[in-house]
Copies of this chain bind each other. A is one copy, B any other.
Amino acid sequence: MTRRQITGFSNPTVKYLRSLREKKHRKRERKFLAEGLRLLTDARECDRVPEMLVMAERRDPHPLLTALEEAVTGAGGEVIETSDEILAKITGKSNPQAVAGVFAEWNTSLSALDRQSAPIWLVAQALRDPGNLGTMLRTGDAVGAGGLILLDDCVDPFSVEAVRASMGAVFTQQIAQARWDDFLLWLRSGDGQLVAASLRDAVPYRGAAYAAPCFILVGNESQGLPENYETACDLRVTMPMRGRADSLNAAVAGAVLAYEVLDTFENPAS
């Protein structure tokens, strides 16, 4: 297989790869970076093959790395070898993993979602923290959700931090981005129960009447959900708060709710 060698920090490809750590460049190029053999293997097994693969010159051979290289070459992509130092500069990590890949972003419009493909969907409004976003994707994968719908001004799901925190779920979960009004129109054009954790007019989250496809909505980390968003929900549920705080971390709230919904669906009350 042909591999291009890059030895200079000032190489245009290095500059291009580094630029993908910044949102404005990702948006312009519509590409993103993912690192590590495990993450890239998850991607490959989900038929997401990087357009460009960057490997450390000094790396241990691994059958999964060979499979990755073959997939990239087979799809007409490019394989690059470079030094640990340049890889560190690209990924922004002092101890980078031995491999990184550049992926083309995919369509994240609501019309690309098939709501009947899963009983649970996670929905986040104005989520600001990439770690929370990645964690929600990971939780979605664990509960067998279809994907994550990002409302209003959320952090970029293709940021390096979100991709990393998703532990590969960015490739297994469907992702959509929409404004609230458009989401509501789409939601009401078919089946779907919208559920939020709320303190207003809410029922206990345990054993509530969840129905599939169930859309679990969590709000912004510091503001929570706007009141009219809560009002538009089909079901408002409340979780016990036994301490001083009146809310949970957004990703935690989503996960506790999602596991409750999953249990309701898998073990209907006797």
Name the B residues within 8 Å of A251 (CB-CB). Answer: 135, 249, 251-252
Q: 1/0 contact trace for A64-80 toward B, CB 8 Å?
A: 00000000000000000
Q: A255 CA to B11 CA in the complex, in Å?
A: 46
Partner of A240, one of B138, B252, B266: B266
Q: Which of A82-90, A161-169, A225-233 contacts B (4 or more CB under 8 A)?
A: A161-169
Q: Which of A21-29, A48-56, A98-106, A139-147 contacts B (4 or more CB under 8 A)?
A: A139-147
* A260, closest chain B residue (CB): B259
* CB nearest to A263 among chain B residues: B206
In the complex, A248 has a CB within 8 A of chain B? yes
With contacts A240-B266, A256-B259 known, is A245 near B167, CB below 8 A? yes
Is A239 close to B, CB under 8 A? yes
**Partner of A143 from B138, B139, B169, B240 at Cβ < 8 Å:** B240
User: Pick the contact of A255 from B42, B138, B256 — CB < 8 Å?
Assistant: B256
B168 touching A244, Cβ below 8 Å: yes
Please report the C-alpha to C-alpha distance between residue A129 and residue B130 in the assembled complex, in whole angstroms.
14
Q: Does A190 contact B (CB under 8 A)?
A: no
The answer to whether B241 touches A142, judged by C-beta atoms less than 8 angstroms apart, is yes
